[in-house]
Amino acid sequence: MNWYQVDLTLRGLEIAAAQLNGNAAERDALVERFIDMYEFGWLAEAFTYAAVLGVEMAVPARAAPFEAVLEAVTADVDAVLLPDMPVRWQEAVWLAAAVGQGGGVPQAAASTMDQPGAVNGTFQLMISSFHTLTRVPQLPRKTAAGWAELMRDSFAAGAGVEDDPEEDQRPDT
């Protein structure tokens, strides 16, 4: 991941941790801060990267390919960021599959979906991926919030960065 993708992932993980800890006020403040820094549509990319990270964590423990673990994620239907808006679960799974296979930036694909649906779908997939980790017996016992916090803290410490920060500037929005 480049610095930009790591930043989006970190912000997605922060929002996930707040949601999974039941802190809607903190989650909403983090979402507002994200929108102030980037823009609304980029939330789908941040949530996709965080969801992929959650799925990737289960891959070695399940000894299954990424796609199989991703398809086994069960939707947490209560994880909706934008009430009364569509939740594009299947499209979110498709975006995560593309990213997990080394595909391009999900923002381009997400832009073909309605933005609220893309954001809701990827948010639900992100939250659901952390719930999935709690059901993998080969992994240490943690809550879904504990997994999100562990990954958030790792990314905050610089984990996952592979590219030169000079070549990875935030794209024009």
Q: Give the Cα-Cα-Cα angle 44, 23, 13 (nearest 5 degrees).
A: 35
* 12 DSSP assignment: H
Q: Yes or no: say if 83 and 53 are a contact pair by the CB < 8 Å rule.
A: no
- The ranges assigned to domains in the chain are 3-159
- Give the DSSP letter string of 95-150: HHHHHHTT---HHHHHTTS-HHHHHHHHHHHHHHHHHHHTT-TTSPP--HHHHHHH
What's the pTM? 0.86
- Model pLDDT for residues 76-107, shown as the tens digit of each residue: 999 999 999 999 999 899 989 988 877 665 55
Give the pLDDT confidence of 104-157 residue by residue, as tens digits. 655 555 556 788 998 999 999 999 999 999 999 898 899 999 999 999 998 888
Say how many residues make up the chain.
Answer: 173
